[in-house]
Amino acid sequence: MGDLITMDDLSNKEIENLLDNAVRLLPVAKGDVHLPLLEGKVLANMFYENSTRTRMSFETAMKRLGGSVLNFSTTGSSVSKGETLYDTMQMIDGYADVAVIRHPRQGAAQYSADAIEIPVLNAGDGAGNHPTQTLLDLFTIRESHGTLKGLNVVLVGDLRYGRTVHSLSHALVRFGATLTLVSPKSLMMPVEIVSDLKEHGAKVTETSDFSATIDDADVIYMTRIQKERFPDEDEYAKVAGIYMLSAGDLSGAKKEMIVMHPLPRVVEIHPSVDSTMHARYFQQAFNGVVARMALLCDCLGVKIPKKVK
């Protein structure tokens, strides 16, 4: 694998291999085993947009494997002087072995990948894709349910601008999941994506009634209504806080059902859910480290030993 821009860059077999490798790297991610597989390698974290988990988990993943990290942000760099993405990426091509990019504009990751030689990993491009989040989401689902096949996954909230659900839905249908898409009319999944999902033969239901979907769900994937993506603030005000999940809503849920969220959350998951057996979102955030460790090794061509001790 070279670049990872959308989930189409990975076959199902490659995804499963990455998830298997991620399982093997768990003791390294926890700091129990020292395994400097990426010693001497440099990762450039190119964040043109805010991030907590993605940036830090890439950094932790690289450092746990003995590599080093260049952190870039738009303030304090030549971007504020008007440097193009193309020019900035040319520099990174010379400074690092792999680039992770998050950018407010859609298509920025593919554009960067076309501009430079080193592998580019898309850490979120506007409302486009976020495939490395998908890897940790798939890891979390498989960790809880033992499989990805045949699950009923309910995606809730901002499906229009939510890049995590764009990438995740593509991957889930390839593994035979059934999707229930819950959103207000103004935030429905883009038609291109729904048409792609149906082309894969997926069972896809679209609804705005969240409460009716909870009891049949194997996974409830909540998302934040992202104020920063709305071109119009009035449109945001109409839908802010439209879906909220609290512990009381889960009384009829399946025992093994898990609640996920790419975080940060605002009001969509009440803290009362945190202590239920369904909550997985903090574990999910930790899983970002192992999933990204496996991915970094893969794109840098480094083999992970069969047994990690």
Partner 1 sequence: MSEMRRVTAICNGTVVDHIPSGRAVQVLKMLRLDIGRSNPISLVMNVPSAKLGRKDVLKIEDRELNQEELDRLALLAPAASVAIIRNYSVAEKLKAELGEELVNIARCSFWNCITQNAREPLPQKLKVVNVDPLEIRCAYCGRGQDLDEIVDNIL
Query: What residues line the site for partner 1 (CB under 8 A)?
Result: 6, 82, 84-86, 103-108, 110-111, 114-115, 125-129, 191-192, 231
The single residue of 41, 55, 64, 102 carrying the catalytic annotation is 102
In the residue annotation, 265 being an active-site residue is answered as no
Give the shortest CB-238-to-partner 1 separation in angstroms: 21
Closer of 66 and 104 to partner 1 (Cβ): 104
In the residue annotation, 53 being an active-site residue is answered as yes
Closer of 118 and 289 to partner 1 (Cβ): 118
Closer of 46 and 108 to partner 1 (Cβ): 108
63: region left, alpha or beta (phi > 0 left; psi from -120 to 50 alpha): alpha
Closer of 9 and 249 to partner 1 (Cβ): 9
Give the shortest CB-75-to-partner 1 separation in angstroms: 19
In the residue annotation, 81 being an active-site residue is answered as yes
Please return the burial class of 286, using the count of CB atoms within 10 Å of its CB with bins 0-12, 13-18 and 19+: middle
Closer of 134 and 213 to partner 1 (Cβ): 134
Provide Rg for the chain, Cα atoms. 19
Which SS3 state, helix, strand or coil, does residue 191 take?
A: helix
Q: Which residues pair with 135 in a beta bridge?
A: none
Give the shortest CB-305-to-partner 1 separation in angstroms: 37
* Nearest Cα to Cα of residue 103 among 128, 81, 68: 128
Here the tokens at position 117 are 């030689």
Alpha carbon 19 to its chain centroid, in Å, reads: 14
Which SS3 state, helix, strand or coil, does residue 223 take?
A: coil
The answer to whether 5 touches 131, Cβ cutoff 8 Å, is yes
In the residue annotation, 105 being an active-site residue is answered as no
Measured CA distances, 233 to 208, 236, 241 (Å): 21, 5, 14
Give the shortest CB-112-to-partner 1 separation in angstroms: 9
Complete edge-to-edge strand list for the sheet that includes strand 68-73: 68-73, 42-47, 98-103, 120-125
Which SS3 state, helix, strand or coil, does residue 100 take?
A: strand
The single residue of 53, 63, 105, 270 carrying the catalytic annotation is 53
Closer of 111 and 139 to partner 1 (Cβ): 111
Give the shortest CB-78-to-partner 1 separation in angstroms: 13
Q: Which residues pair with 260 in a beta bridge?
A: 221
Give the shortest CB-186-to-partner 1 separation in angstroms: 17
Q: Which residues are catalytic?
A: 53-54, 81, 102, 130
